Structure 1
Amino acid sequence: MTAASTEQEQAPVTPAVPRRGGSRYGALLRYLGVRLLLIIPTAWILVTVVFFLMRVVGDPISAALGGRLPPDQIAARKHAAGFDRPILTQYWEYISGLARGDFGRSQDNVAISHVIASYGAATLELVVWALIVAFAVGIPLGRVAAKRRDKASDVGLRLFAILAYAAPVFFVGLLLKLVFAVKLGWLPVAGRASTNVELALQNVSPKTNILIIDAILYGDDGYILDVLKHAVLPAITLGLLTAGIFLRLVRINLIQTLRSDFVDAARARGLSDRVVTGRHAFRNAMIPIVTVVGMQIAMMLGGAILTEITFEWKGLGYQLAQYLQARDFVAVQGIVAFLALIVAVVSFLVDVVVALIDPRVRF
């Protein structure tokens, strides 16, 4: 046996180590796959709760038309709609319809999917404007409060955050309307745009039903300004609700991050407080903000109902209030089920973003 062969036999065998990037990428895909599959039971639970809660008041036909039609006509309508069948049969048809994208039909025989397509863009636009306000107000003020901890400005900002979160949405909206629309006349009282602007934007092609985009496509600066002016008060009303939460979260997490060892190490290297706060502490303090965005969007969808009623912003919340007033519980059930599905999807998207930006997340 040669020396070379002896050395070869005695040499330790190093196992192949998978590349870190590839293993993390595969683990990330598995994690996201599991989270995606979890949407199904989450959405199922949500729409099931909606279905049975709506049945607490009885069948939708009797709840909507009881006392306004003779009993024989109500019985005929119940039979035509299938509400005289066993509850489990109705439930199965309801779930099957949702799987096909069928959210039911209103009393005037309009498909709820058509209502969602027609008015959902308005609610989406309002929520986006409100999120912009929440980020623009809550995050900078949270940084100021953290840097001036326990000083008068910090106490004032914390009080503002509590009031912003606790104040009823409709009260804030009415107060803003009274001051900036009625008294000062700076902004419109209600609506998504002036009547002539809405009529003109109906002819935009391709029409998105998001008025700011339609106004940009139309190419008229006056129309763009009109849409923006109508969006200011509703966006502030709904955005302040979340701005208070963002302010407190940024303040608390930034204070805790500034006490971390890596921040002390950065200061020991001679970095200025501005660099330490901006490049190191603030970026890490923002991660918890992302994790609560999904919950805040769910809260905003609830607040959008009152905001849309207050400002006659004709979105899904406004339509939902109209259906509630008319006791059209099939339409109410369809819209609420759709909003529940949106919340489930948004929660998944937030999990994706957190997994991508937070290295502490383990797959």
Structure 2
Amino acid sequence: MSRSQALQSYILLRLLLAPLMLWVITTVVFLLLRATPGDPVDAILGPRAPANFKQEMREQLGLAGSLWEQYVDYMGHLLKLDLGESATSGGETVWQIVGDYFPATAELAIAGMLVAVIAGTTIGALAASHPNTKTDLFGRLYGIVTYSIPMFWFGMVLQFVFAVNLGWFPLGTRFPATMPPPESITGLYVVDSLLAGNIEKLLTSLHYLALPSLTLGLLIGGIFERIIRVNLRRTLQADYVEAARARGIPERRIVIAHALKNALIPAITVLGLTFAALLGGAVLTEVTFSWPGLASRLYEAITQRDYPTVQGIVVFFAAIVVVASIVIDVLNALIDPRIRY
């Protein structure tokens, strides 16, 4: 079997397995929510609410009937791409919530990923090209410290230093209440400001985006730093690198034009999956900075015991991760001819 045929078979297999993965995730979330103690109807309406109101709320939450009947009903709606209706947002559907809140999460994830790639690649490359020096020690410490620091704590430290003490950045939110946000085209304030040619709103959007994206990016950048440093150091010991040095090619050119390119290949998988995880895992950052994103909305739904919203948002994020994993595997195979399936 040729490499292209093997790759096509692998892609087909992954596409066939994707619904199974989503079904497993959906089932686990469904069971975990119903295994949590307490009555969500009492949490929403209060224990003294009339019985007919409670029954109506149970039907809305999909809690009427036995556990199996609830599961079959939920999966039936999910197969029709119906994520349900929020129990705490006045009849708003989960798809409407996703449409309203996801652009903020996507913008934060994109900005955070840019910071992570720039910081991680730069520090990792410098550490690998200067082994057993202070630069290498700094790179090692950066990778260890960023892995161990809690994200919410780091965010509060940045808020205290740069927002409270120095006053350089706002404490939180996505845009000032005294100024109307950019006209929604993509939902991404930075992009919408650029499309409208509004420099003032562009700078304001970047100003409010800076601290949350630095919080995400600097901590996630430690992952890329470790991968780049280890792989680049191994690559710099390869025969073709020694041959390039023997020909008198400057070390900086060898690192950037030859070695770093190959060292980045293992980071592609981590890059894609980390970005997908950022879309759904930025809850602590969004809550810390009062960022009105979908992850923050998920946190609110969990505290309010809003089952349809929690299930719908988790399924949406799970679909993103599954699709991202397939795309990254395909890109890896196209970029690196050594990969075989």
Counterpart of 2:130 (choices 137, 145, 148) is 148
Distance between the aligned counterparts of 2:288 and 2:72, measured in 1?
Answer: 37
1:290 aligns with 2:268: yes
Q: Matches of residues 199-278 of structure 1 in structure 2 within 5 Å?
A: 199-201=180-182, 204=183, 207-278=185-256
1:127 aligns with 2:109: yes
Distance between the aligned counterparts of 2:331 and 2:83, measured in 1?
Answer: 30
Gaps of 5+ in 2: none
More displaced, 64-73 or 97-106? 64-73
Matched letter for residue 222 of structure 2: G
1:74 aligns with 2:54: yes
Matched letter for residue 68 of structure 2: L
The aligned residue for residue 33 of structure 1 is 12
- Residues 57 and 278 of structure 1: CA distance in aligned 2, closer, same or farther (over 3 Å): same
More displaced, 324-333 or 75-84? 75-84
- Residues 238 and 80 of structure 1: CA distance in aligned 2, closer, same or farther (over 3 Å): closer
Counterpart of 1:116 (choices 55, 75, 98) is 98
Aligned length: 338
- Residues 68 and 109 of structure 1: CA distance in aligned 2, closer, same or farther (over 3 Å): farther
Q: Matches of residues 28-107 of structure 1 in structure 2 within 5 Å?
A: 28-57=7-36, 60-61=40-41, 64-65=44-45, 67-71=47-51, 73-79=53-59, 81-107=61-87
Distance between the aligned counterparts of 1:328 and 1:63, measured in 2?
Answer: 9
Q: Deviations over 1:3-60 (max 9, x none)?
A: xxxxxxxxxxxxxxx9xxxx54444333322222222212221111111111112674
Distance between the aligned counterparts of 2:227 and 2:62, measured in 1?
Answer: 49
Distance between the aligned counterparts of 2:40 and 2:244, measured in 1?
Answer: 64
Contact 2:181 2:189 in 1 (8 A): no
Percent of residue pairs identical: 40
| Structure 1 residue 132 displacement after superposition | 0.3
Q: Deviations over 1:190-240 (max 9, x none)?
A: 11122244x252xx3x62211111111222111110001111000001112
Distance between the aligned counterparts of 1:110 and 1:291, measured in 2?
Answer: 36
Distance between the aligned counterparts of 1:44 and 1:54, measured in 2?
Answer: 15
Contact 2:277 2:321 in 1 (8 A): no
| Structure 1 residue 310 displacement after superposition | 1.2
| Structure 1 residue 79 displacement after superposition | 4.4
Distance between the aligned counterparts of 1:65 and 1:165, measured in 2?
Answer: 41
- Aligned-pair RMSD on alpha carbons? 2.2
Counterpart of 2:302 (choices 299, 315, 324) is 324
Q: Deviations over 1:169-199 (max 9, x none)?
A: 11111111111111111112211122244x2
1:307 aligns with 2:289: no
Matched letter for residue 335 of structure 1: I
Distance between the aligned counterparts of 1:37 and 1:243, measured in 2?
Answer: 33
The aligned residue for residue 168 of structure 1 is 150
| Structure 1 residue 294 displacement after superposition | 3.3
Gaps of 5+ in 1: 1-17
Q: Deviations over 1:83-118 (max 9, x none)?
A: 232322322222232232211111132101110011
Alignment partner of 2:282: what SS? helix
